[in-house]
A and B are shown apart, each in its own frame.
Chain A
Amino acid sequence: MIPKLCYFLKLLVFIILNNLILKLKLNIDGLLVYFPYDYIYPEQYSYMLELKRTLDAKGHGVLEMPSGTGKTISLLSLIVAYQKAYPLEVTKLVYCSRTVPEIEKVFNIIYIFITHCIINSYFKIAFQIHFSSVKYLSFLALRFGKEVDGKCHSLTASYIRAQHHSNPSQPVCQFYEEFDAVGRQVPIPPGIYNLDDLKDFGRRKGWCPYFLARYAILHANIVVYSYHYLLDPKIADLVSKELAKKSVVVFDEAHNIDNVCIDSMSVNITRRTLDRCQTNVETLQNTISRIKETDAAKLREEYSRLVEGLKEANVARETDMYLSNPVLPDEILQEAVPGSIRTAEHFVGFMKRFLEYLKARLRIHHVVQESAPQFLKDIYEKVCIDRKPLRFCAERLRSLLRTLEIADIADFSAITLISHFATLVSTYSKGFTIIIEPFEDRTPTIANPVLHFSCMDPSIAIKPVFGRFQSVIITSGTLSPLDIYPRILDFRPVTVASFTMTLARTCLCPLIVGRGNDQVAMTSKFETREDFAVIRNYGNLLLEMSAIVPDGIVAFFTSYIYMENIVASWYEQGILENIQRNKLIFIETQDAAETSMALEKYQEACENGRGAILLSVARGKVSEGIDFVHHYGRAVIMFGVPYVYTQSRILKARLEYLRDQFQIRENDFLTFDAMRHAAQCVGRAIRGKTDYGLMIFADKRYARADKRGKLPRWIQEHLTDGSLNLTIDETVQLGKHFLRQMAQPFRQEDQLGLSLLTLEQLQSEDMLQKIAQIAQQA
């Protein structure tokens, strides 16, 4: 109960502090918006204006605003106000974020927001984060998510519950029974529920929080969850299917949304998957022959259902979460299952043939790349498998698993994956490619065949979302260049805008270091990256910076291998030792536990003494979700341009596809991808207007117009011609000057009227004019 108490105390403190007064009441284009702070940033006002326009037009929007300028609160206050003003136009806000810490951050903002603004009980708000963790309530002893799922399913599946009716000794889940009996009729009290609250609520009532959450989504005004619940077709079908059309969907931190889409539709099959699948098939076969002896009626019943082409009735669909099919055209779902896989034995035989075929394909010694039609043709020639039964594969397997009443579905993930692959490969002829690699690139001697069924078109996964919901907002701190997102996601936004940060003082200082003191060019270009002069100059740069920057420095490398190489040669050259005289060094590794340990100690070191240096990797965990506010990151150094590994065949296929379908040249996309990651990395240091930090781009290629032009506008603005191709010495000079200036006391009054506005200031005429200039339409 202690966390609960803490929460109430927090609430109480808030209320006392703020004397129950609504903070700002804004008039945004005729809409009354409650804003929970005394002051507002001009760009927030501008952001809300654009957002309102998007909602009015019932269209989609792409909005870029620097991190630390209060995107989330602006989004929330405007959309909630809109919801309140036009309850029939917008019924629900679905807020998607990428990682758990980010989701929790949104939560805290909502706490503040709700406690300040909405005193009446109009809002009933439920949140849920990760379903699988909610399930832990009843099975605390199990370690793996899959096991939890399997156990849960074995207690709540519809047939288990039916058996329980006739045979009370059959165990069922008490929590679910309780929920099923009363949970749906009793409304959940209005409020804010995060994961723990929901668990707590469930425990008190004796209801299963997992099903409670799934049910509550339909009634909540605001839902906050992870991308995957909307984008991954396997989960979205289950969770988000019944969300109202009139919802507003927000994808926050959406700079990587195309990769999420692609991942959710791609399938990788290894030899191990196939071996596990083999055992699955054998289990199926045995179960079928056993059931045939004991309960043949059951199979007959399934058979007749399939003959009639009846879709499985929706009864008890809720608990039977076998495998939702990947996105299929509706006409397929209405049709009857083809005769060749109608009976259980035939279907198992079919799966066996498919499996053997895949095995044969994986037994190759050279790389094969082919399109889906080629694959289908080959499979027809080799094992006589037609396209149509393949399309029904996932659906048919689901039906079979249900009929066989296999309670423990955790083991069947392999065959499920294969069936998904079958359905996808026969459904989509465009936008996918099949790549079979006999070994990994790094270990060409060890045979490790993998079949990549790789999606190249992110618009396939996100298309249902754009089609379904009236407004989808894509927003992040780094979305530049803005026009590329609508192109690769294939949608037509009504607003595309980028906002700059209004600053009372220039608190960010981007510098491009192109040369060492010896005038040797610094670059992570492939040809010169192993060059001793380059490595030494990188070392010198870090050494010099460690001497002048107070507290924390974060350094990003382009890859783990490159970081290891560089650190090793720094050690040999004695640079590391010199750096350690100034600061402690921490390193991010591929191991998540190790990294979080390093991060914790790094923060501890920043609090004490002379500070620390964190060496990490662009595209790694640190670069994506960890903020380095204030003294945790006074300087960010980006060693090299973080290009993705260009030799990967999957990437090559995707680039080719982009070129053919969207007329985006390979180089443009690679640069775009590298620059968004670079911007993401350096953006980690500035998390607000009182924060300040150096941003050092250590590669001469950043100075080129094509790279520089792809940085977000709020960084580009502060890149002067004088800071384009600096040597290390010059960088140190500029850095020293900047840090000294920034270290002067900075009070709120300095900001007022410039980058922080009161209501009166906001209403003045010339301020409104200034605000109009903040947004730049792309």
Chain B
Amino acid sequence: MAETREKSHKPKPRVRPIVRLGIFLVSHSFLVSVVCCTSGVLALFLLPVLAKNTYISENALMPGSASPMLSNQHVLDGNRLVKDLTNSNLKSSETGIESHKIIAQYMLDLGAEVSFHKFHPQMNQFHPLHFFSSPDSGKIQENYSCSSYGINTVGVIRAPRGDGKEAIVLVTPYNALKSGFGEALSLGIAYSVFSLLTQVTWLAKDIIWLVADSQFGEYAAVSAWLREYQTPKFSSLSTLNSEMCPDINNLFEIKVHSVAGSKFSNSFRRAGTMAAALVLKVRDQGEQFEDTISIYAEASNGQMPNLDLINVVNYLAVHRQGLRVNVEKLRSLLNSSWLKSLGEIFESLAKVAKTLNPKCKFGIPATEYVEGTATLASSLYYQALGVPTGPHGAFRDYQVDAITLEISPKFSLDKVWRNDILLRGGRLIEGVIRSVNNLLEKFHQSFFLYLLTSPSKFVSVGVYMIAFALLIAPLPMVAASLYVDANSSSNFLKGDSSTPSAVTDAAEHGITIRSWKWLNSAKLVFIVHLWGAIVSLLPYFICQIPDCSPTTSFVIWVLLSILSLLILNSVLASPLACVKASQEKEWALVKSVTISSVFIGLGLMSVINFATAEIGALVMVPMCLLAQPLKLDVRAGTLRSCCRIICNLVLGHIAFPPAAFFLLKGMLDGFGSANVGDFWMWVESLWAWNSATYLFIGMVQLPCWVLCVSILFHSC
């Protein structure tokens, strides 16, 4: 007891080093934030340099260890199907059903199990509670009509000696009503592989070939089939369907009779759990000089398939079939000169580093850097968007690794070329299937969180998180320093004005008030965030208005949002207004709380969808850190404050979500085509795909922007 009393009497109690470090950082928050932010942005631009070469991580895959077995005979089979399909298109008016029959017949001839799956397209509706929820089977639609349905043709090969617990899915989207030559060709490739796989003895997993009816979109067909596959319905809906739409049923009856005794089945056919899925497409017009194959991997909310799957495809395509592999790039970045000069700077830096230490070998040529950055930017963009880039996205919702392969052949019409594409495409698919067939477990060895900088280079989560962490690191420090500043300055003023006798009494009272003063700002921030939530819910009601063009919807949305902000402000924040006027440094507290909330929001978002958080942080962090009442800056009138005014105004415009959207769209597509309704359409697509980016924009970015703007126009 005595000791503790002595200690408490000491003037300066010892502070632990970590606390001292914290205090040091908080007191130098300006310097820290400048350093951190610049290094964060720099780290982002360094990512293409730091990218590592991909490698096959899973031992069991062994891609390319077996020589392809697809022969010319199988190619001829595929060619026959292509011919039949293109002919039937010309002949029959009822082509949709005819071509499905042809495909089913071909599958049956191979000895596969065949079934039709009919589905009704789902409307893109805004379900406020559907974000993050797994897709459910119970979506019963009352308003379907018999005329609009799609038919998926499904063929299943059972592994001759397998246990039937696992399956590999091959998907070819096919629109029977207006199919191009490319689609027919993709069916031909799939068929040639399928015909091979019925003969081989090495299958350990079942093979499912899904010919997805893409007349309502490729994704809809695949997701409808997957929903049926994964979450079987036990309701009477299917019987209801057949009762109400006899014409569909008729088709099936005819089918059954025509191929009696075969493996055709009216019921839904299933195999085991899916190990992987490949979506195969052939582009109609090929303009390249060589045969290329594009890989699309992004699924909803920036989820990626396991990197091993991409590696296998890339390895087999490049080293076995001699195809060029492409991943999506932002083409506008390819010609930018500033990027090229940045690349040159990095290159020369790497050379200098190499002269200093011959062992260090980072650094890539400038052209490669530009390409890498363009690929990285597109990888970030598509992940941030949260919208799947192809039908493979539907698989990711069920944790199945899937990618879309789009073959764009160098175009010519002669038969040799067609056979060549069938052979090489088929062998690629065969190789991938054989490799996945070797798998013993799900894909798990390689990365799920990565950004691609080229088909054979990637940046893993451990590296790209650094850029983001550096970017948001100053936020809590600045918030703390602002809070401390606001408290101490008011403390100083009060201490000055009061007489010494009243000091103790007033100080105690003042401390209690001051320590809770931030609650007012927190209340303001909370109200604005509440408003953000309301704004993001509004489209649900706007959707219900019938016959509304995107432009009017958008206008209604904006008006309602402003209205709700005003109402909320008047109802909840009115008592705050009078207090606000009385306080000197109130804006600092608001800024501090805003920054904290942004920090929390960005941190949460980085877990859900890293790319969104990264792009959001690039815009929001400078805006939050720079925000300062314009009046103060105008009053100061120095060069520094002028710069700050300009920065604030620019950021204030850019950070407004619609403005950012139009700017981005203008940069990518040109400003001519911009339309107010586009933003509405874009937002619609976001919620249709259950993208968390929509929530981020509505509940983090928009409130943050409003708060920053309110700080800018603060009257002090």
Q: Decide whether A and B assemble into one complex.
A: no
- CB within 8 Å of A: which residues of B? none
